[in-house]
Structure 1
Amino acid sequence: MKTYIKIFLPLICIAIITQSCSRKKDTFINRNFHALGTKYNVLYNGNLALDRGIETVNDAYSENFWELLPVERMSIEDDIFLPGQTKNADFERAEEKAIKAVQVHGMNIEGKEKNPQIDEAYLLLGKARYYDQRFVPALAAFNNILNKYPTSDKINQVKIWREKADMRLDNNEIAIKKLKRLLEEEQLEDQDLADATATLSQAYINTKSKDSAMAQLEIAAENTKIKRERARYLFIKGQLYNEFGKKDSANMEFDKIIEMHRQVPRAFYINAHLEKSKNFDELNGDIVAFQEYLMELEENRENRPFLDKIYHRIAEFHRGNMSDSLAEAYYNKSLRKTTTDQYLKALNYETLGNMYFDKNSYKTAGAYYDSTMAAMEPKTKEFRILKRKRENLDDVIYYEGIAEVNDSILKMVSLPEEDQIAFYAEYIEILKVKAEEEEKLKKEQSQRQSNSGNIQIADNKINNRLGSNKNPGGIPGSIGGNKSSFYFYNPTTVAYGKNEFLKLWGDRQLQDNWRLSDQRKRISNTEQSEVVASEDKDNTLSPDFYIAQLPTEQKEIDSIAKERNYAYYQLGVIYKEKFKELGLAKSRYETLLKNEPEERLILPSKYNLFRIYEELGLNRKAEAMKKDIVENYPDSRYAEILLNPQLELAKDENSPEAIYTNLYNKFNEQKYAEVIAEADENIRKFEGDDFVPKFEILKASARGRLFGFEAYKEAINFIALTYANTEEGKKAQEIMDNAIPSLAKKDFIADDASKNFNVIYQFNKDSGEDIDNFIKVLNEEVAKVKYFDLTTSRDVYDENTTFVVVHGLKSISGARGFAELLKTEEKDKRGRPIPPKITKPFFPISSPNYAIIQRHKNLETYLEQQ
């Protein structure tokens, strides 16, 4: 009997297990077998993989406390993945487990799912896709649960997750509508209520309804059981209150985070302190207590990872209290801390740059702005604004340098000789003191090295003795076998020995008989050259050396003064127009007028000063300047503007803008000679005005069209050198660097290398031919050609030659054949010959070669090669 039991019992168990594996039979054993396998095997491993993936996402995410935090800690990337690809292997594994649960353990019998864990599998599937940022497939998974498992115990969670996916797809209005309905129809509690209200608050924030988000965040913070989530919701509330200008309410939210202390991530704790400190009322608050509060944050050892932000906040406090030196020190301390916060780094650099800019230290400010841009994202609006400011600063540095140097030279030239001698004598004394200090420092360093070497040698002797006593029979000179006192094994004694040798013998070559006299002769030569150098150095310690370098000719002095005056004018323009620094602009213009500048700079400087006085509220000075301009320059356009305040300068026919527009229209009409003449006239008329470089560019283009490449190159080079710090000057330099080398090529290309050809009719200025009538007839003939898309144009070649051109032909033979066809006689209906309407000589040419002859004016060369 026992034998039968041993045989049949396992067979019965196998049969029961086999029968329970079936997904087609709705029995108690089958349902529970698949449910247990789904929950404790497949879904368990899938959820573990999901948790690992979420942890990876959280670790990779960096909180940006400079902006309003998102409700959910997840960064959205713009990378596009093909089907089957994934961003995270853990989410891929979680998705595979969810799919396996459905495929292997699903019990869909007569349209109903009998395995109560399958809805959990679809929820896992949706979450994995959501965190993998495939929101459309995630939405499909959540909708599948809502459609097939409406009685699921997870149905409310699924609805929340579905609206999270909707929000990621920018369906915020739909998400708000459905979440509000969920909150009204269902009695959500605890974490479900927190998740629903938090998601709803993000939807409100996305639709700019931030006041509605506040109430939902409050509910979410009260009901969540996860401390870090509560800290996040409170922090966002504090940020929103700050946006609304309710600092006291914001501080209450930040205090709630601070009270949680070690229960929340340290980043939230520190940033809550910092945000609260920004709301400190410096006018009515206790400054001493606030300083102690900031110092406590700085000195707390637990806050070391956040010292970069703490130092920045302390720097901001000192800057607000006009303690610029302390502020600068703390900004630099913030920069010295290793940080991944590029925004903070850029903010520190930019602030320091602004501080130096305000102190007129433009070179240092420019260096800080360079560092700022290195820490910024190049494609942002802020980067572009700072880049323009930095480029403008180049002009400021350039002109301030000219003004400073030339002012110094002119001041020295104006002094009597005895005052010059006294000034340079005082300067030389400063140089001597500095040289003595440097020499003293060198001697002290040399003495320290010497003492160190002597001490080391003495120590080595002692060590040798100790070693011989303590280590008999061992390695000579060793102590315990660890150290060697052998001379060349000790770097300190070797260095000392090298220095002593160089002092005694000099720099010797590695050769035999190195002590011979000829070697000593070389040493004496070296010493001799040192004496010469010493004599040259002594010359710089004489006032005559500096006085001899001052300009003496009046022409040279006038040139320096003229350059200085133009620099002051440009600085006034830059400060006024580009930086809106009216005080600095006022100072430069007033200094310029005191220096008795050339006539062309006086009137525009006075007009700009009038405008600055108006904006600064200096009404008496403004009226005096207006009276000066109107009385002394009654025929100028500035006087006309002042007498007619309602007149818009842009519409004034005498304004540079209007004149330039008219001149540009003439350029388009190919009236190049008129453009050159009028441009010259207006350059003289508006000398000192910002529009002058524009006239120069237009003139250069007209010269190029009329006289060819060399004239254009010469004009562009003149603009690049003369107006180097204007937009037009920089553009001209770009043309010189990039375009001119390619435009210089004048070799004609083979006809078979082109696909477009022209027919050219040449007209000379003195021929008396009617070009307009010729073009009219030619257009009539061209209109008869239906198999080509032909057009005509009238192009100026030079002062005496005009071309009428037919465009649109596709081969050199086709161009020649077309022109010959126009010269062929036709017959009327009666067979009588009709004289051709076009009999003028022509020549065919490819479009690239036509561009070359227009550019280099080498028509004769081209015709000779045909």
Structure 2
Amino acid sequence: MKLQFKIIITAVSAGLVLSACSTKKDAFLNRNWHAMNTKYNTLYNGGIAFEQGREELNANYQDDYWDILPIERLEVTEDVKLDSEDNNPNFIIAEEKATKAIQKHSMDIKEEERNPQTDEAFLLLGKARYFDQRYIPALEAFNYVLNKYSESDKLNEANIWREKVNIRLENEELAIKNLKRLMKLEDLKDQEYADARAMLAQAYVNLKIIDTAIQHLKVASYYTKKNPEKGRYYYIIGQLYNQLQHKDSAGYAFDRVIELNRKSPRVYMINAHLQKIKNTELTNENSEELWEYLTDLEENRENRPFLDKIYRQLAEYHLEIGSDSLALDYFNRSLRATQNEPKLNALNYENLAVYNFDHNEYKAAGLYYDSVLTNLHENTKKHRSIKKKLDNLEDVIKYEDIVQYADSVITLYDLPKDKQIAYFEAHIEGLKKAREEAQKKEVQRITDGFAAFTESKGGKENKGKFYFYNITSLGYGKNDFTNKWGNRTLEDDWRWSNKSTIAIADENGDTIVDAVDQEIDPTDEEKFS
């Protein structure tokens, strides 16, 4: 009886499960079965992969603090992608999970979606494509949510993400129009409102309408609940005020970044400190205070990852107060501390180039300008400007070398006869010593090599063998031959360096010998070696 009961229960359960698996039946069990599987299986795993992809992007992304920061930390290539190519695997997984959730759990019955989790699957699909820089497919996913799921609680989020895509596709006017309508007609949460304002600010920055961008970014920094975003927004506000030459307002924005301290990434705080120092006019009254300010930043152990920029600011400080040697030292320290900062390297090299040029050290200046070029992208205005300077400088260096050579010759010519002889004898002696040293090093290198070989297994196995079977003896012989004769081609009359000295028989058997050849005879050593 118990067995029959168990069989019946199992059969009924299996029937219910199979019935619930259907995506064509609009029943309570079906809706909740597919919603649960979508949320806690495919979407859950897809969401984890998506967040891992974003973390990886944030870890690898490097902001360019020499330019206005973008609102969103995302490295963008110039190519518009349509298919998945060379992409972050986490975003591919997120897209696959979202697609799987749509294909297996979507319940489109009578043109109405009955699975309440499907809109989130489409939203995840669009986000994964967005961060994969496939903006056209991402736009399709967000538009599908907006057109298909009119009752979804994700409509505001989908709207904001769609306008992000429009901004990436350089449709700033359309994005501004849609975002303004969204803020006017919809009741947005604080974070949604902050995101919408931030995207409006980015659109206005792209359109070079800086003052309007600042106002939107101020509102975004007030409403956002994420401290890293607050720090970034305040820093960008400071940069935009700097662009407008409003130094006081910029200083206030940078102070807000510094006040956040550990609540936002330290990189924002350090750059805010340095921007404040740059905006401060150096005077006799504040010189000591600025030096202490910079020294505190330099000596703080937590600032070690940012020493390259701190050293550069110290170099500029010392250059401005006239401490040239300290300035040069700090420029070089900055170069040594720099890690993957080509723009910073270019600025340091340019400072060193200008300094050497101003002090008539044209060769050194040319080398530094050449280093500047290696740290700049070719198709930029800055690269062309530096290249032009370097080309002009090469002519100056060429004529400077000619002048220096002429001066040296004249100076030598004006010396008394005995000093001229002494100079040339010393020069010849130096050349001889250099050649002897080179020969000694070469002999030592070869000797060490053979000594090491004789101690090896191969060297010991060849001891006592016939000359041409003994690798050690053969090696010494080859070395001796090369030292005496040089590198000779394997051919007849290999001992003659000038083949025109060889007697050549003509067609009639007569021997034709050049008159000069008769004076050149091989030595006894050449004959019997």
1:129–1:135 CA contact under 8 A, matched in 2 = yes
- Output one character per residue of 1:715-744: Cα deviation in whole Å (capped at 9) or x when no partner: xxxxxxxxxxxxxxxxxxxxxxxxxxxxxx
8 A contact 2:82–2:136 mirrored in 1: no
> Would the alpha carbon gap of residues 405 and 362 (structure 1) be closer, same or farther in structure 2, given more than 3 Å must change?
same
Structure 1 residues 86 and 92: CA distance shift in structure 2, 3 A? farther
Partner of residue 353, structure 1? 353
- Which residue is equivalent to 1:524? none
The question of 1:128 aligning with 2:128 is answered yes
Alpha-carbon separation, structure 1, partners of 2:273 and 2:79 = 36
Q: Which secondary structure state, in structure 2, belongs to the residue aligned with residue 325 of structure 1? A: helix
Q: Is the 8 A contact 2:270 2:306 kept in 1?
A: yes
Shift of 1:314: 0.5
CA deviation map 1:545-568 (0-9, x unaligned): xxxxxxxxxxxxxxxxxxxxxxxx
With normalisation by structure 2, the TM-score equals 0.76
What one-letter code is carried by the residue in structure 2 that aligns with 1:135?
Y
1:159 and 2:159 aligned = yes
Which residue matches 1:267? 267
Contact 1:86 1:132 in 2 (8 A): no
Letter in 2 for 1:248: D
Q: Aligned AA for 1:83?
A: D
SS of equivalent to 2:133: coil
Cα 1:235–1:41 change in 2 (3 A) is same
Equivalence for 1:62: 62
Cα 1:80–1:224 shift into 2, 3 Å: closer
1:340 aligns with 2:327: no
Partners of 1:361 and 1:272 in 2: how far apart? 36
- 1:202 maps to 2:191: no
Q: Which residue of 1 aligns with 2:139?
A: 139
Q: What SS does the aligned partner of 1:259 have?
A: helix
In the alignment, the residues of structure 2 paired with residue 204 and residue 246 of structure 1 have an alpha-carbon distance, to the nearest angstrom, of: 18
Alignment-derived partner of residue 316 in structure 1: 316
- Partner Cα separation in structure 1 for residue 127 and residue 3 of structure 2: 53
1:634-713 matches, cutoff 5 A: none
The CA distance in 2 between the partners of 1:199 and 1:382, in whole Å, is 30
Superposed CA deviations along residues 257-286 of structure 1, whole A, max 9, x for unmatched, are: 112222222211211111111011213751
Name the aligned partner's letter for residue 162 of structure 1.
Answer: R
- 1:6 maps to 6
What's the counterpart of residue 190 of structure 2? 190
Shift of 1:53: 1.4
Is 1:29 matched with 2:23? no
- The amino acid that maps onto 2:177 is K
Q: Indicate whether 1:221 and 2:247 are aligned.
A: no
Cα deviation for residue 98 of structure 1 reads: 1.0
Distance 1:251 1:39 in 2: 47
Please, what TM-score do these two structures have when normalized by structure 1?
0.47
State the partner residue of 1:479: none
Cα contact 2:237–2:250 (8 A) shared by 1:
yes
Say if 1:189 and 1:223, in contact at 8 Å, map to a contact too: no
Q: Which residue of 2 aligns with 1:392?
A: 392
**1:240 corresponds to:** 240
Output the CA distance in 2 between the equivalents of 1:210 and 1:284. Answer: 34
Q: Contact conserved, 1:142 with 1:159, CA < 8 A, in 2?
A: yes
Deviations 1:558-590 (A, max 9, x none): xxxxxxxxxxxxxxxxxxxxxxxxxxxxxxxxx
Q: Where does 1:701-780 land on structure 2 (aligned, <5 Å)?
A: none
Q: Deviations over 1:51-96 (max 9, x none)?
A: 1111222222111000000001001113565635451221111111
Whole-Å separation in 2 of the counterparts to 1:412 and 1:2: 120
- In the alignment, what sits opposite 1:366? 366
Cα deviation code 1:288-342 (max 9, x no counterpart): 1110000011111111111111100100111122222211111011112241101
Q: Deviations over 1:127-157 (max 9, x none)?
A: 0111111111111111111111111101100
CA drift at 1:411? 7.5
Is the counterpart of residue 168 in structure 1 residue 160 in structure 2?
Answer: no
Distance 2:86 2:18 in 1: 37
Counterpart in 1 of 2:454?
Answer: none
- SS of 1:378's partner is coil
Cα distance in 1, alignment partners of residues 220 and 82 from structure 2: 37
Q: Confirm or deny: 8 A CA contact 1:86 1:92 kept in the other structure.
A: no
Q: Distance in 2 between matches of 1:372 and 1:249?
A: 33
The CA deviation at 1:412 is: 8.3
Matches within 5 A, 1:156-555: 156-283=156-283, 286-406=286-406
- Residue 246 of structure 1 aligns with an amino acid whose one-letter code is H
Task: Judge conservation of contact 2:342–2:375 (CA < 8 Å) in 1.
Answer: yes
Give the 3-state SS of the residue equivalent to 2:74 in structure 1.
coil
Considering Cα pairs closer than 8 Å and 6+ residues apart, tell me whether 1 or 2 has the greater RCO: 2
| Residue pair 2:82, 2:137 contacting (<8 A) in 1 also | no
CA contact (8 A) 1:95 1:128 kept: yes
Q: Whose radius of gyration is greater, 1 or 2?
A: 1
Figure out how many residues of one structure are paired with residues of the other and give that number: 426
- 1:339 aligned counterpart, secondary structure: coil
Q: Report the 3-state secondary structure (helix = DSSP H, G, I; strand = E; otherwise coil) of the residue aligned with 1:30.
A: helix
Residues 515-565 of structure 1 show CA distances to partners (whole Å, capped at 9, x for unaligned) of xxxxxxxxxxxxxxxxxxxxxxxxxxxxxxxxxxxxxxxxxxxxxxxxxxx
CA 153–245 in structure 1, closer or farther in 2 if over 3 Å, else same: same
Q: Quick one: structure 1 residues 406 and 189, their matched pair in 2 at CA, closer, same or farther if it must change by over 3 Å?
A: same
CA distance in 2, matches of 1:121, 1:362: 64
Letter in 1 for 2:280: F
SS state of the match for residue 208, structure 1? coil
The answer for the alignment partner of 1:100 in structure 2 is: 100
Task: Evaluate the alpha carbon distance shift between residue 161 and residue 280 of structure 1 in structure 2; reply closer, same or farther with a 3 A threshold.
Answer: same
* Distance in 1 of aligned mates of 2:283 and 2:338: 34
Structure 1 residues 84, 245: CA separation in 2 closer, same or farther (over 3 Å shift)?
closer
**1:665-694: CA deviations, max 9, x gaps?**
xxxxxxxxxxxxxxxxxxxxxxxxxxxxxx
Secondary structure in 2 matching 1:245: coil
Alpha-carbon distance, 1:179 to partner: 0.5
CA distance 1:83–1:245, shift in 2 (3 Å): closer
Provide the rounded CA distance (Å) in 1 between the counterparts of 2:19 and 2:196.
43
Letter of the 1:392 counterpart = N
Alpha-carbon spacing, 1:286–1:84, altered in 2? closer, same or farther (3 Å): closer
Q: Deviations over 1:73-122 (max 9, x none)?
A: 00111356563545122111111111111111111111111111010011
**Separation of aligned partners in 1, 2:85 and 2:104:** 23
Partner of 1:683: none
Q: Secondary structure at the match of 1:72?
A: coil
| Structure 1 residue 375, shift from structure 2 partner | 2.1
- In the other structure, the counterpart of 2:437 is none
Q: Which blocks of at least 5 consecutive residues in structure 1 are unaligned?
A: 436-510, 512-866
Which secondary structure does the structure 2 equivalent of 1:354 belong to?
helix
**What is the identity, as a one-letter code, of the residue corresponding to 1:165?**
V
Code of the residue aligned with 1:316 in structure 2: it is E
C-alpha distance 192-96 of structure 1, shift in aligned 2 (>3 A) = same
